[in-house]
Structure 1
């Protein structure tokens, strides 16, 4: 629990002219060599989109939403139009968004025929008295809000179809395949007013049971944002992330004085040793410090602060370029 002095100090951040920061991830796992360029380019585009909003005085909430939309619209990622298929060959998607200013939260699970589930999650936050809507209820709400439905086939990528067919074969291991090649997308940000936000979106687990809900739409697992501490978005073994409430435990460690990197390393190590789960996280604290950390082989990520873009995919990779440099948009 924060002391009165700590609470006062954090609250005062809203009155400071903070330097905006955004960090995004495109999923933790084993990313094949042929997909690395597309994943790297995708997270860079998403981070730059979000940072452009922040530089223009926009909110952290708007920045993370639009950054995630960029990745939902990119078939390189397991969200939106790149979502994996369930056991019936259908797409069911989950998403969450959270505002650190008042802990406002919105989530959807098992939604179908929606191009951008993250936008629907925000509508749940802003237009209902609930936190999460699922399946048919989410669909009815989307229609009531004028959200356009799209044909399911428009969301199915060739790679998702191939992976689904492969996992139908005897002896295949869909659980192991969850960490292969594709992953959840997410974003965290802090804006000029010191407000933080997070957003996470996913197609879930390849060949999952119909109706399966993973960590992404669960507050404290798929993401968490609190101005008193910071914001986090997670990716990886969904069921394992849920059992340790990975996002919230990271913020807890930060409350105890750890840096974002220390808190992330500690929580990921705990998840690996306690429940044999692998994953990755992106975190920003309320001072603008950030990290992108993962226990898998790779995780595509990008971050922008002080007009400098940093990005990577492989462990130890951290490329840096000014946002005005031509390489920033490639």
Structure 2
């Protein structure tokens, strides 16, 4: 028995192109399960890092200086092993670098130029991750800031009116024969300060996996870090709460502690029970069970 849940991020479009991309990613992960749990997590995220529909890899939003700085992380629930990169540049697949941090170093997180240098040492070529549409959005935003002091662009998509062409952090949780893993990748927030790091590479903040539960989050990273939301979900599930209810409670708690914080999360436990919740306009989620799409899954929208 196996289960892969993949999300496309808060405010991301929910039209066919987005759901098809999530399904394609889940299928890639399912095919890689024959190798290992981490192979499945990595391959799922790589598909979305290659797709400019999402704020990860190629298609990432730009920081204030017009550069792409990306974060990614992977966690193995069997061993509590964790690997992450933060503010890495010029790499097509930050998730693959994060996995190598886990498997080939004694560290858990590499950041900035050090993370990029490590990637080069492992054979990752330099690539341009700036997607033309994101560059155009950055130019428009900088012009508006110069004129009025505000860009009014969505921090998750870089667009004035995201509509169906929107993007944000991607993530997945995986269950396979009682074992759990989580992985996530992002370009961060639009017009962020250079060097800013969100919740994606912070264990317990935007990602967590144990023998009990696997969780990935998306949204206002600072809020998820300050509330340790991913670990909070794990603690609820550890106490016997269904992941669906745990996800709902976590989003209500986020609203209570960090009013106005936008986000969403998905979780699965060691019994293959799962759930997802969000408090924004859109949050596309695909569930792939035993190699087949598990219907038209709808995460719970928190209206508070």
Instruction: Flag whether TM exceeds 0.5 (same fold).
Output: yes
Q: How does 1:71-220 map to 2 (within 5 A)?
A: 71-150=48-127, 152=128, 155-168=129-142, 169=144, 170-172=148-150, 176-178=154-156, 181-192=166-177, 194-220=178-204
**What residue in structure 1 maps to residue 249 of structure 2?**
266
TM-superposed deviation, 1:158: 2.7
Moved over 4 A (4+): 173-176, 311-317
Question: Unpaired runs of 5+ in structure 1?
Answer: 1-18, 318-330
Describe the shift of the 1:59–1:218 C-alpha distance in structure 2 as closer, same or farther (beyond 3 A). Answer: same
**Residue-by-residue CA offset, 1:306-330 (whole Å, 9 max, x unaligned):** 443036597679xxxxxxxxxxxxx
Describe the shift of the 1:42–1:67 C-alpha distance in structure 2 as closer, same or farther (beyond 3 A). Answer: same
Q: How does 1:166-315 map to 2 (within 5 A)?
A: 166-168=140-142, 169=144, 170-172=148-150, 176-178=154-156, 181-192=166-177, 194-227=178-211, 229-276=212-259, 277-310=261-294
**Residue-by-residue CA offset, 1:237-264 (whole Å, 9 max, x unaligned):** 1111111111111111111111000000
Contact 1:300 1:312 in 2 (8 A): no
Describe the shift of the 1:246–1:156 C-alpha distance in structure 2 as closer, same or farther (beyond 3 A). Answer: same
* Structure with the higher fraction of residues in helix conformation: 1
Contact 1:40 1:311 in 2 (8 A): no
Question: Unpaired runs of 5+ in structure 2?
Answer: none
- Number of aligned residue pairs: 289
Contact 2:172 2:183 in 1 (8 A): yes
TM-score by length of 1: 0.83
Structure 2 CA distance, aligned partners of 1:210 and 1:44?
33
SS of the aligned residue for 2:183 comes to strand
Describe the shift of the 1:173–1:272 C-alpha distance in structure 2 as closer, same or farther (beyond 3 A). Answer: farther
TM-superposed deviation, 1:84: 0.4
TM-score by length of 2: 0.89
Structure 1 CA distance, aligned partners of 2:209 and 2:237?
12
